[in-house]
Structure 1
């Protein structure tokens, strides 16, 4: 008897809209087609196995997909596995035996022939969000990895900043302690001014105002600061100016800092 070998599934990196958890009461989300192309939505509709940062946000995303494309399986029949809590708190970008082994377990359905989707709450998985351990494991298991087109706040903010888009670095979060935060900001500014490399950082929305205030107090007047808030949302706003102008024009007061934001330092 001839046994047919199973063709492994593909791991799709599925971007999601940037508005999850950001809309106020009564605010209606924009049509999902405004931020995700048809091909991405069509592939997402055909997947039935998911690795997710948050199962609740994934189900909310699939409901929006379902409104346009019929799902291959009803929402209640979708297989949604969450990334380990450790990946949420400390990230999973550093190679580690535990996270890579857990990732292989989560990818087991792909070895049985199921295409799988990797998703985060908003934006592109594994970029400023957990998921890189899944991608590493997929490559080591000889699974095909296909990133799909969709919104990525870091790149949108960089494009809107007027800063160097040829040489840039995403540095993630800065310390919360005021003294350590100021020290880190001065280090990033020094790199930006010396090399011309744009420094990109983020913060939890409820600490955005504190970070902006620290930037205004720490950076030199001739340093350029750009801030983009609520990208792709109805209240989105991007501002880019020399630090002296931020202070003289009161630009910070014009920003919806309660929304997710990206901060950029350069020259």
Structure 2
């Protein structure tokens, strides 16, 4: 196996490994002893899910989150610089996409260390694929403002882009506020604007539907409480 910083996708929820990750990934993971992870506990669970024979106690874990200093992040790559492959593991989906793993990847690139992304599920890409929206031009904005007036203003700005730039707009919300987000979208956006709700992607109870704002207002809305969800807007 070539020495590199391997970006290791994980499942988006409690989904069977062989449903969303190629067997090749498991072979790579078994060879790695140093992992940069968003959460140590969930990373350990994921590795055991990949292979129950992995001896977790022989591995090194380096936490990477919003509290990690740039100095610590830079030091995390020392094993790689010394010739030991390392892996980056996010909480869900693909590391370094809307994820703090991007910081360590940037440092690796600056230091001319090899970076290898492995194949796995991305909720952003999968939701665009299933929405019927423009996949040539799209933008992911993460979380929108919480304050009602600021959120309404931001939604109208994003809606404007779909008409002026023909660009699909994506964003997320904390699961327990999904219903508030949906309510705000239906209040702020034009009746003809299309909204795709993509929830529990690749997991049991997967829900992906595209309708106009007017159509969403005329039906019983889905139960989005406590589940990961992406909202997409287009014309």
Tell whether the structures are fold-level matches, with TM greater than 0.5.
Answer: yes
* Aligned pair partner of 2:20 in 35, 43, 50: 35
Which has more radius of gyration? 1
* Aligned pair partner of 1:179 in 131, 134, 149: 149
Verify the 8 A CA contact 2:4 2:85 in the aligned structure 1: yes
Structure 1 counterpart SS, 2:141: strand
Which residue in 1 is equivalent to 2:172? 202
1:235 aligns with 2:205: yes
C-alpha distance in structure 2 between counterparts of 1:130 and 1:48, whole Å: 21
C-alpha distance in structure 2 between counterparts of 1:43 and 1:144, whole Å: 15
Verify the 8 A CA contact 1:168 1:200 in the aligned structure 2: yes
What is the RMSD computed on CA atoms of the aligned residues?
1.4
**Aligned ranges 1:1-267 → 2 under 5 Å:** 9-19=3-13, 29-67=14-52, 70-71=53-54, 74-86=55-67, 99=70, 101-250=71-220, 252=221, 254-267=222-235
C-alpha distance in structure 1 between counterparts of 2:135 and 2:187, whole Å: 26
Q: Structure 1, residues 141-161: CA drift from partner, whole Å, max 9, x if none?
A: 111000000000001111111
Give the structure-2-normalised TM-score. Answer: 0.95
C-alpha distance in structure 1 between counterparts of 2:83 and 2:116, whole Å: 16
Alpha-carbon distance, 1:126 to partner: 1.2
* Unmatched segments (≥5 aa) in structure 1: 1-7, 20-28, 88-97
Alpha-carbon distance, 1:257 to partner: 3.7
Alpha-carbon distance, 1:184 to partner: 0.4
Give the structure-1-normalised TM-score. Answer: 0.84
* Unmatched segments (≥5 aa) in structure 2: none
Alpha-carbon distance, 1:46 to partner: 1.6
Alpha carbons of 1:84 and 1:238: their partners in 2 closer, same or farther (altered >3 Å)? closer
Structure 2 counterpart SS, 1:171: strand
C-alpha distance in structure 1 between counterparts of 2:120 and 2:15, whole Å: 15
Verify the 8 A CA contact 1:202 1:262 in the aligned structure 2: yes
- State how many pairs are aligned: 234
